[in-house]
Amino acid sequence: MADATRDEVRSDTRADGDLRPCERLARAFPSYHAGYCEKYPEKMQALFKKQSPGAMMLSCCDSRTDPALLFSCHPGDLFVHRAIAALVPPLDSPAGACIRAATCYAVESLGVRDLIVLGHTACGGISALVKGVADTPLEDWIRVAEPVLARAKSLHPEACAQELGQVCERLAPVYSLKNLETYPWVARGLKEGRLTIHAWLYSLREGELFEYDTRSETYRPIP
């Protein structure tokens, strides 16, 4: 259902290449309406009354890492929070208000069973972390990941900026996972066995997905 809808959307957007992006988006909406609202009215009405997503994903804002697209989701499947570099701040961080609210709602009210941090390679946020972004609006957010950069430098003191970035891309989802574990609602869910948390890494160039294995402390391919 969704695949056919997206094919139609892609076809439409190619044909409308001269339109402003917002106009292309607006023109694509009827495809969604036809593919879901008209085709599955009962399901959409049920979703109007209540959402019951099984999982929450915390992903980067990057346009190439849309969780709903990557994982073939339908409306209501996935509760999503997106932030640059998919960072989850420490519990007491002033930068974490929105993520605290979103994860608490997902775990306590929606009862999601899985929390997944989705990092990715070629991440502009991680690149900014390594290169520095002083005196820009990004600085307040990206400094959340300073411990990640410090860890990368301690592990690879001779690494160049590009290599440090690659190391940080792999460390950042793990850092976020560790921070998530300290959120009280997450800790409760884990302790009671009704929640699992995961760190995934999407490799843009290869189009491959990996999961961090906490026992071996390495990433393993999915599936």
Examine residue 89 and tell whether it contacts Zn ion (CB under 5 A). no
Q: Which is nearer to Zn ion, 152 or 195 (CB)?
A: 152
Distance CA 171, CA 145 (A): 10
Tokens read off for 124? 């502009």
Contact criterion met (CB below 8 Å) for 140 and 83:
no
Q: Tell the smallest beta-carbon distance from residue 70 to Zn ion (Å).
A: 13
Q: Tell the smallest beta-carbon distance from residue 175 to Zn ion (Å).
A: 14
Contact criterion met (CB below 8 Å) for 5 and 38:
no
Q: Which is nearer to Zn ion, 120 or 195 (CB)?
A: 120
Distance CA 113, CA 197 (A): 9
Phi first, then psi, for residue 103 (nearest 5°) are -70, -35
Contact criterion met (CB below 8 Å) for 208 and 221:
yes
Examine residue 62 and tell whether it contacts Zn ion (CB under 5 A). yes
Q: Which stretch binds Zn ion (CB under 5 A): 40-48, 92-100, 119-127, 150-158?
A: 119-127
Q: Which stretch binds Zn ion (CB under 5 A): 32-40, 53-61, 194-202, 214-222?
A: 53-61
Q: Which one of residues 53, 67, 89, 125 is an interface residue with Zn ion (CB under 5 A)?
A: 125
Q: Which is nearer to Zn ion, 58 or 78 (CB)?
A: 58
Sort 22 into a burial class: Cβ within 10 Å, 0-12 / 13-18 / 19+. exposed
* 60: DSSP letter: -
Q: Which is nearer to Zn ion, 28 or 57 (CB)?
A: 57
Examine residue 195 and tell whether it contacts Zn ion (CB under 5 A). no
Q: Which is nearer to Zn ion, 106 or 118 (CB)?
A: 118
Examine residue 169 and tell whether it contacts Zn ion (CB under 5 A). no
Examine residue 123 and tell whether it contacts Zn ion (CB under 5 A). yes
Distance CA 122, CA 119 (A): 10
Q: Which of 185, 166, 168, 186 is nearest to 177 (CA)?
A: 186
Residues that bind Zn ion (CB under 5 A): 60, 62, 123, 125
